[in-house]
Amino acid sequence: MADARLLAADEAKLASRHNRGALSLARRLPQLVVAAKQVASTVMHGVHGRRRAGVGESFWQFRPFAHGESAQRIDWRRSARDDRLYVRERELETAHTVMIWIDRSPSMAYVSSLARESKLDRALILGMAAADLLVRGGERVGFPGLMRPIAHRAVVDKIAEAMITQERIAPDVAQAELPPADPLPARAQAVVVGDLLSSPHDIGVAVEAMSGRGARGHVVMIADPVEETFPFAGHTEFLDVDSPARLRLGEAASLRETYLTRLAAHREAIRAISATHGWSFALHRTDRPASEALLALRVQLEGAGVFLHGSGR
C-alpha cells in the first residue's frame, strides 16, 4: 500500500497564487484573442449567411418585380439600368443564440511538458474561436454570467474585455468551476468548455438547469496528456489548486491503475449526463491542434441546426 497522507497548506499563499493567475490571464488575453481568430479562420471555409429571402438588414439579391406587388417595393435605381422593374430582397435573419461558457477555475492553469499550452489557454482559444465563427455565420453569441448575446463582428475582443473586467471585480464568479445553473431559452444552444473535474452530480445539476426550457448543448472536456497517462513514479507530492490540500505519495506508480479507472468512470458519467439531456460530448487533449476540436464542435453545431448556409436547411 502506498504511503499517502493529506497535508494542510498555507491558505494565504493559495490566495496569492490565484491572484497572480488572474493577472497573468489579463496579460495573456491579447495573444489568446489573436490565436482564437487564427483558429477560427482555418475552420471558416463554407460558413456563409442563411441566403434566403426574408426580414433582415443585409442585402441578398435583386429579383424581377412580380405583377400584383406593391410599387413601393421597386428599386428604381436598379430598374433604371434595365428595361425591367426589380425588387431589392434582404437576407432572412433568424439568428440562433449560442451561449458559450469557459471554465477559468484554478485547475485549468495546469500544463505539462507534453502539452502545447495550458488547459485554460486552450479552452479560451477554443471558446473565443467558436464565438468568432458563430458570429461570422450569422449567429448571436453570449456568455452565461458574463455577456448578453450579441452578433458583433468584434465579439472576441468584447469577450476578452468582459473577462478582464470580471477577473478584477468578481474573481469568485470568474473562477467558478461550473456555469450558472440557470435555464437557457428553449431554442438556444450551449457550449461548455472545461476540464470538468467537478463531481458528476454537480455537473448534472448544471446541465439539467441549463436544459430546463429545452435548450440543447455541447460539452467539450479539455485534458492535458499527463492527466491521461499518470506518468508519476516514486515519491510525489500533489497540490490541489482549488483548496489548501496536498497529497503526498510514497510510490505514486502504485495508484496509476486506480487513477485511470476512476478517470474513465468519471468521463463516462459526464458522457451519460450529456446524452440524457440530448447534449453532445467530446474530449480534447491539449497536445492536439485547437482547430481539430473547433472543427468537431462545428460539426455538432451544424447537426443541431446552427450555421445554416447555402444548403438552405
Is residue 185 located within the same domain as residue 83? Answer: no
Q: Which residue has the higher pLDDT, 28 or 91?
A: 28
∠ CA 45-303-139, rounded to 5°: 60
Share of the chain above pLDDT 70, in %: 83
Give the angle 11-260-250 at the CA atoms, nearest 5°.
55
Same domain, 199 and 248: yes
Answer yes or no: do 85 and 180 share one domain.
no
Average pLDDT on 230-253 reads 85
Q: What is the extent of the structural domain holding 76?
A: 59-90
pLDDT in tens, 54-73: 444 445 567 788 877 888 88
Kindly report the length of the chain. Answer: 313
Residues 208 and 295 in one domain: yes
Question: Which of 140, 122, 145, 155 lies closest to 206, judged by CA?
Answer: 145
Q: How confident is the model at residue 288 (pLDDT cuts 50, 70, 90)?
A: very high
Q: Is residue 275 part of a domain?
A: yes
Q: What is the pLDDT of residue 238?
A: 85
The owner of cell 490571464 is 25
Same domain (yes/no): 164, 76: no
Same domain, 166 and 214: yes
Question: Within this chain, do residues 280 and 142 fall inside the same structural domain, yes or no?
Answer: yes
Q: How many domains does the chain have?
A: 2
Asked if 170 and 107 sit in the same domain, the reply is yes
Residues 164 and 33 in one domain: yes
Distances (CA, A) of 203 to 19, 228, 240, 245: 26, 20, 19, 22
Return the CATH number at 103.
3.40.50
Q: For the chain, what is the mean pLDDT?
A: 83
CA dihedral 88, 90, 91, 94 (to 10 degrees): -150
